[in-house]
Structure 1
Amino acid sequence: MERRSFLKKTGVGIAAGAVAAPAIAQSMPTLNWRLASSFPKSLDTIYGAAEVFANRVSAATGGKFQIRVFAGGEIVPAFSVMDAVKDATVEAGHTASYYFFGKDPTFAFDTAVPFGMNAREFNAWFMHGGGDKLLREFFGTYNIMNFPMGNTGAQMGGWFRKEIKSPADLKDLKVRVGGFAGKVLSKLGAVPQQIPGGDVYPSLEKGTIDAAEWIGPYDDEKLGFQKVAQYYYYPGWWEGGANLSLYINHDKWKALPDEYKAIVEAAAAEANVDMLAKYDAKNPDALKRLVANGAKLRPFPKSVMDACYKAALEVYAETSASNATFKNMYEAYSKFRDDQNLWHSVAEGNFDRYMQTRKR
């Protein structure tokens, strides 16, 4: 009798819960947002992160919160995403913040800076090292709420028509490279060009530029750079771990119900992990194919790396002297980076080096 009574009562409770969940969902608003990406649809990794995010938000809200993703140029130009979100032309965007280096060099810290952090270190800084507070204060001045939403990992140094044997070989070289790295290379005589991803191949093919960096083997192979430049250099010292960001118009963000805010944050975190995992899974085979098809893999000579490092420190000092916001961010960022380098050199760095030498 007691057992039947218990089952009856709990059965009622379960039934009530089953009714309550849809009722709660039905009480939430139906929203349709537009998200402008800076990337072409052909890149299923970097463009795809926005689709992973949008699909998760839809699934978690029973389809009540729909976010439609537009590729770079479809709704706004690739390099206009920040302004479009700031001005509420679109509710959200997915981009690399260093594209907006020209507006304020502080933007670069949200993506990558020369000789900066790798992907794990950036996530640690943002989530537990105070980076979120600093970056969100900065983005707040642009009416934007930002979330990490993807990372490429350490990038390649790019495709060159000629060998780079010394710093002198960079002089007068027209290089497609973004933001901060362009200022560093300028100190060595190179001529940086900022070109959207979809326009890089034709620029290389026509000889408008002499070299181009994009991301890494998987994406580079899809864009076909190996057909127009044979020397493939590494590492991309300006992008030890390039973070991509979800931008949300701050007013639109504040208007969201708390439940939707939690779902957005969780969906962005999932897309953040998924992008790096995709690159790590896909890059090895792509690199093997590129080399098998004639790409000449080359490390940047130490003399070039040292010259670029010296030039980067000069740019940091010059920019800090003229931009207090940048200086404050750089001091916090570099301290955290140095501590991370010290820690990683002890355990994981030694483990990785040993395993890499065993395979070779």
Structure 2
Amino acid sequence: MTNRRDFLKKAGLAAAAGTTALAAPAVRAQSKITWRLQTYAGPALAEHVIKPAIDAFNKAANGEMQIDLYTADQLVPTGELFRAMQAGTIDAVQSDDDSMASPVDIKVFGGYFPFASRYSLDVPTLFHQYGLNEIWAEAYGEVEGVTWLSAGAWDPCNFATIKPIKSLEDLKGLRIFTFPTAGKFLTRFGVVPVTLPWEDVQVAMQTGELDGLAWSGITEDYTVGWADVTKYFLTNNISGAWCGSFFANSARWDEVPEHLKTLFRLCIDSSHYYRQHWYWGGEAMLRAEGTKLELTTIPDEEWETVEQEALKFWDEIAATSPRAAKVVAILKKYREVMEKAGPPYRYS
């Protein structure tokens, strides 16, 4: 009996010890993931085009991950964003392909590709329904170290200038701050594209280094202070919406758990949605009720020559690579569908 009692006692202790070990296994604490994300936008604009989404992500991530947001040129110049992200100097980027010099053949379609869109809804439709998502994923899949995540629409591209523009003749000789591909196209009409750091633009307008901007719609002109240093706003635009994207360093993206990847993608979609209504409403309200800029317009028949010239430009870009040709073919097909659909998709 003594031996039996000793056996049961020892067995009970062993069982208890085993239960305790299983109930409270040693767990290594997961350290919080921290990213540095730089946007193309300056501080005032970033408050709208990205900050709400990043704030929402940080709150919903519940301490598992935090994204620190930096604005235009704060960590690296905009033209170096891609290389810095690829090298891991920064973890993620919100920008267009064109101005950050992405080493892909479709970079010219980022930013403002002339007359590629008429309205902001054209951009997500082209990506989600006409195949641009797959083309962008393919292009960036060939580049080491960077993962393309999502594209969306921003505002149209209009001129804001010191002198009024009422004809194509008025464009000649104007020194204009704009995007690389848009600037290349506008040289056909005598525009002189000027590249400057974003934060230097307002001073350059005041010192006479610039005659104007073709960087945004009227909402940004008011939001960032450019309406304070220009006098006129040309209602004709060379593109109905800026096309920008979110990107991440591939190694850093791979470290993120799937549930946080899903959360980040949802917050990106939230950012896309916010910009749709913020810009759409802002463009109309400030044209109708804004007091800082006088509106001017180039007659439709004269502006039509600019649009026709853009189609020639499309063909030149299509000749640069098979993939670029595929994008141009999609843009032409989309243009054809929209014109056949008629109002409200396209007005003659």
TM-score, normalising length: structure 2: 0.82
Spell out, residue by residue over 1:137-164, the C-alpha distance to the aligned partner (whole angstroms, 9 max, x if none). 1122333222346532434x22123333
Does residue 174 (structure 1) correspond to residue 175 (structure 2)? The answer is yes
Mapped to 1, the partners of 2:61 and 2:68 lie a distance apart of 15
Query: 1:150, 1:274 within 8 Å by CA — same for their partners in 2?
Result: no
Corresponding residue of 2:306? 308
Higher Rg of the two aligned structures: 2
Q: 1:186 to 1:243 in 2, by over 3 A?
A: same
Does residue 81 (structure 1) correspond to residue 81 (structure 2)? The answer is yes
Corresponding residue of 2:295? 297
Question: Which amino acid in structure 2 is aligned with residue 82 of structure 1?
Answer: F
Mapped to 1, the partners of 2:205 and 2:179 lie a distance apart of 16
Query: 2:161, 2:211 within 8 Å by CA — same for their partners in 1?
Result: yes
Query: 2:234, 2:295 within 8 Å by CA — same for their partners in 1?
Result: yes
Mapped to 1, the partners of 2:190 and 2:84 lie a distance apart of 34
Mapped to 1, the partners of 2:110 and 2:88 lie a distance apart of 21
What's the offset of the Cα at 1:206?
1.3
Question: Which amino acid in structure 2 is aligned with residue 62 of structure 1?
Answer: N
Mapped to 1, the partners of 2:116 and 2:332 lie a distance apart of 8
Does residue 54 (structure 1) correspond to residue 54 (structure 2)? The answer is yes
Corresponding residue of 1:324? 322
Q: 1:96 to 1:303 in 2, by over 3 A?
A: same
Q: 1:111 to 1:27 in 2, by over 3 A?
A: farther
Q: 1:227 to 1:111 in 2, by over 3 A?
A: closer
Q: 1:236 to 1:194 in 2, by over 3 A?
A: farther
What's the offset of the Cα at 1:226?
3.5
Corresponding residue of 1:287? 287
Does residue 249 (structure 1) correspond to residue 286 (structure 2)? The answer is no
Corresponding residue of 1:20? none
Query: 1:98, 1:105 within 8 Å by CA — same for their partners in 2?
Result: no
Corresponding residue of 2:260? 260
Spell out, residue by residue over 1:203-256, the C-alpha distance to the aligned partner (whole angstroms, 9 max, x if none). 12111122212322332123333443322101322x311132111112222332
Query: 2:52, 2:271 within 8 Å by CA — same for their partners in 1?
Result: yes
Mapped to 2, the partners of 1:29 and 1:304 lie a distance apart of 61
TM-score, normalising length: structure 1: 0.79
Spell out, residue by residue over 1:289-314, the C-alpha distance to the aligned partner (whole angstroms, 9 max, x if none). 53x34x22012333542232233223
The 10-residue stretch of structure 1 (126-135 or 307-316) with the greater mean CA deviation from structure 2: 307-316
Task: Please list, as runs of the form range in 1=range in 2, the aligned pairs for 1:166-205 lying within 5 A after superposition.
Answer: 166-205=167-206
Q: 1:253 to 1:341 in 2, by over 3 A?
A: farther
Corresponding residue of 2:147? 145
Q: 1:103 to 1:258 in 2, by over 3 A?
A: closer
Task: Please list, as runs of the form range in 1=range in 2, the aligned pairs for 1:198-237 lying within 5 A after superposition.
Answer: 198-237=199-238
Query: 2:42, 2:199 within 8 Å by CA — same for their partners in 1?
Result: yes
Q: 1:65 to 1:337 in 2, by over 3 A?
A: farther
Cα RMSD after superposing both structures: 2.7
Does residue 37 (structure 1) correspond to residue 35 (structure 2)? The answer is no
Query: 1:101, 1:108 within 8 Å by CA — same for their partners in 2?
Result: no
Corresponding residue of 1:123? 124
* 5+ residue gaps, structure 2: 1-27
Mapped to 2, the partners of 1:272 and 1:296 lie a distance apart of 29
Q: In the comparison of the two structures, how many residue pairs are matched? A: 319
Mapped to 1, the partners of 2:317 and 2:170 lie a distance apart of 26
Query: 2:123, 2:153 within 8 Å by CA — same for their partners in 1?
Result: no
Does residue 95 (structure 1) correspond to residue 78 (structure 2)? The answer is no
What's the offset of the Cα at 1:123?
0.6
Instruction: Find runs of 4+ consecutive structure 1 residues off by over 6 angstroms.
Output: none
Query: 1:183, 1:315 within 8 Å by CA — same for their partners in 2?
Result: no
The 10-residue stretch of structure 1 (102-111 or 65-74) with the greater mean CA deviation from structure 2: 102-111
Question: Which amino acid in structure 2 is aligned with residue 147 of structure 1?
Answer: L
What's the offset of the Cα at 1:68?
0.3
What's the offset of the Cα at 1:337?
3.7
Mapped to 1, the partners of 2:93 and 2:208 lie a distance apart of 32
SS at the partner of 1:229? coil
Mapped to 1, the partners of 2:231 and 2:181 lie a distance apart of 25
Query: 2:149, 2:245 within 8 Å by CA — same for their partners in 1?
Result: yes
SS at the partner of 2:181? helix
Percent sequence identity is 19
* 5+ residue gaps, structure 1: 1-25, 354-360
* Aligned mate of 1:336, from 334, 337, 345: 334
SS at the partner of 2:323? helix
